[in-house]
């Protein structure tokens, strides 16, 4: 097992650190009132997009930071100044440094398509299943898009996108 390495979080030096497996730590410091805060591992919050985020506070301001970005900024050189971080295994909750790499938007998109991470039920925001999509296409127009949207508790535009194959293109 590799050893755990911790590094200061940029712009939060002396306040927070991140380690090479994706844990975030609040550091021991004096809060100005004479009492000391103890070092602790922060609880992470899962975003709607299925990624871990951490709340970092400094000088009365709190910001949510994505953990994969904290790990990459601390541990992975980015000489070409690429804007994205790719999760090599396709699992956005796996923030171990060995699973992350800097990439362009195009490289990230190509990787996601290669790993079949786009579209369908695997998409973390999907409200429909392939079975639902087949049903919707089968019963439309006998059943209106409005009625189908109520039946599946989605927007009418979602149903229309399915019907007109703007989404779920891979389902026949």
Better pLDDT: 76 or 50? 76
Read off the pLDDT band of 124 (50, 70, 90): low
Collapsing DSSP to helix, strand or coil, 29 comes out as strand
- Asked if 53 contacts 68 with a C-beta cutoff of 8 angstroms, the reply is no
Read off the pLDDT band of 49 (50, 70, 90): confident
- Tokens representing 91 are 């699992």
Flag whether pLDDT at 162 surpasses 80: yes
- pTM for this one? 0.67
d(CA 124, CA 122): 6
Which of 55, 52, 89, 57 shows the shortest CA–CA distance to 71? 52
Distances (CA, A) of 169 to 23, 69, 115, 133, 166: 38, 32, 17, 10, 7
Compute the average pLDDT of residues 37-62: 87
Which of 75, 72, 91, 92 shows the shortest CA–CA distance to 83? 72
CATH number of this structure's domain 6-69: 3.90.75.20
- Asked if 16 contacts 63 with a C-beta cutoff of 8 angstroms, the reply is no
Flag whether pLDDT at 117 surpasses 90: no
- Break the chain into its structural domains and give their ranges: 6-69, 71-114, 121-163
């Amino acid at each position: 097992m590799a050893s755990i390495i911790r590094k200061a979080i940029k712009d939060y030096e002396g306040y927070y650190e991140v380690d090479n497996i994706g844990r975030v730590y609040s550091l021991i410091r004096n809060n100005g009132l004479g009492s000391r805060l103890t070092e602790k591992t922060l609880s992470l919050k899962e975003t709607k997009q299925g990624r871990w985020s951490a709340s970092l506070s400094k000088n009365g301001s709190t910001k949510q930071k994505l953990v994969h970005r904290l790990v990459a900024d601390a541990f992975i050189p980015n000489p070409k100044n690429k804007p994205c971080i790719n999760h090599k295994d396709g699992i956005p909750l796996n923030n171990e440094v060995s699973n992350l790499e800097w990439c362009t938007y195009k490289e990230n998109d190509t990787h996601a398509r290669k790993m079949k991470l786009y579209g369908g039920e695997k998409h973390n925001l999907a409200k429909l299943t392939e079975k639902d999509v087949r049903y919707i296409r089968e019963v439309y127009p006998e059943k209106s898009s409005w009625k189908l949207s109520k039946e599946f508790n989605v927007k009418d535009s979602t149903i229309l996108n399915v019907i007109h194959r703007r989404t779920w293109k891979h389902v026949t």
